[in-house]
């Protein structure tokens, strides 16, 4: 998809501003299951891109868009009581080749100069957020371990402990089953960090829902 067409897509969906395509979430009385925390990993950005927004597929001033499959991630940030939160949501990830834009990444796969690698969104009054990004590639860690495609999340909200976690794709079943980091998550909680990608004819890209539930225990100061 050309950069021009992607910008038209953004304008039509209003993703960069309001995140309006986020599907409504039925808030029920009771408790929502906390999103399991996971390791931050070694590739949190050392330097942040000049272009900072929730669309990682197009960088201002670049003639080409990022390589790979464009996807949309949308969801809500909620409390344990299933109430919406105002929060900052950061993501960082590998590009389609499986390479991070990080000095310490030993992966010989090519860097994508047209991919943003990191972005952030701020939730609205209903706790909604959204991102346009690329489905990341997996990458080798050791001779017998390949990390499945995944996206790192960091969520911060006033007076609450921050949450760092990772999001996986349910369609990567074989790699997910062998991933040493995902397997640290208790089996009954793994579905809470898993996302289904579904086709959407109106958006022309696959999209998924990832709701994030934060611990309400106040952060000690």
Instruction: Dump pLDDT digits (tens) for 139-161.
Output: 999 999 999 999 999 999 999 99
Higher pLDDT, 113 or 2: 113
Q: Is residue 32 part of a domain?
A: no
pLDDT digits (tens, 9 = 90+) for 13-22: 444 443 444 4
CATH classification at residue 137: 2.60.130.10
Judged against a pLDDT cut of 80, whether residue 63 lies above it is answered with yes
Q: Is the distance from CB of 34 to CB of 187 less than 8 angstroms?
A: no
Residues annotated as part of the active site? 100, 139, 147, 150, 152
Number of domains in the chain: 1
Section 25-49 average pLDDT: 85
* N residues, the chain: 221
Q: Is residue 130 part of a domain?
A: yes
Q: Is 7 helix (H, G, I), strand (E, B) or coil?
A: helix
Judged against a pLDDT cut of 70, whether residue 2 lies above it is answered with no
Q: Is residue 200 part of a domain?
A: yes
Buried/exposed 39-51: b ≥16 CB within 10 Å, e otherwise: eeeebeeeeebee
- pLDDT score at 18: 39
- Round to whole Å and give the CA distance between 63 and 42: 30
pLDDT digits (tens, 9 = 90+) for 84-121: 999 999 999 999 999 999 999 999 999 999 999 999 99
Judged against a pLDDT cut of 90, whether residue 217 lies above it is answered with no
Q: Is residue 219 part of a domain?
A: no
- DSSP letter at 8 equals H
| Structural domain span for residue 125 | 3-25+42-213
Query: Helical H runs in the chain?
Result: 3-13, 173-178
Q: Is residue 177 part of a domain?
A: yes
Query: Helical H runs in 114-185?
Result: 173-178
């Amino acid at each position: 998809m050309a950069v021009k067409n992607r910008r038209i897509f953004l304008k039509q969906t209003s993703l960069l501003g309001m995140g309006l395509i986020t599907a409504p979430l039925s808030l029920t009385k009771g408790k929502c299951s906390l999103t399991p925390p996971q390791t931050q990993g070694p590739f949190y950005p050392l330097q942040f891109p000049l272009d900072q927004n929730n669309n990682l597929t197009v960088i201002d001033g670049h003639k080409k868009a990022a390589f790979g499959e464009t996807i949309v991630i949308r969801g809500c940030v909620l409390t344990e009581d299933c109430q919406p939160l105002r929060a900052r949501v950061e993501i960082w990830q590998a590009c389609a080749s499986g390479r991070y834009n990080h000095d310490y990444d030993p992966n010989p796969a090519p860097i994508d100069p047209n991919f943003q690698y990191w972005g952030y969104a701020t939730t609205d009054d209903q706790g909604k957020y959204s991102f346009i990004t690329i489905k990341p590639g997996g990458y080798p860690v050791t001779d017998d371990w390949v990390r499945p495609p995944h996206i790192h999340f960091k969520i911060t909200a006033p007076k609450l402990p921050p949450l760092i976690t990772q999001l996986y794709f349910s369609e990567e079943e074989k790699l997910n089953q062998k991933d040493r980091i995902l397997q640290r998550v208790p089996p009954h909680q793994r579905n809470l960090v898993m996302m289904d990608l579904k086709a959407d004819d109106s958006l022309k890209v696959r999209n998924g829902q990832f709701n994030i539930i934060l611990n309400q225990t106040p952060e000690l100061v």
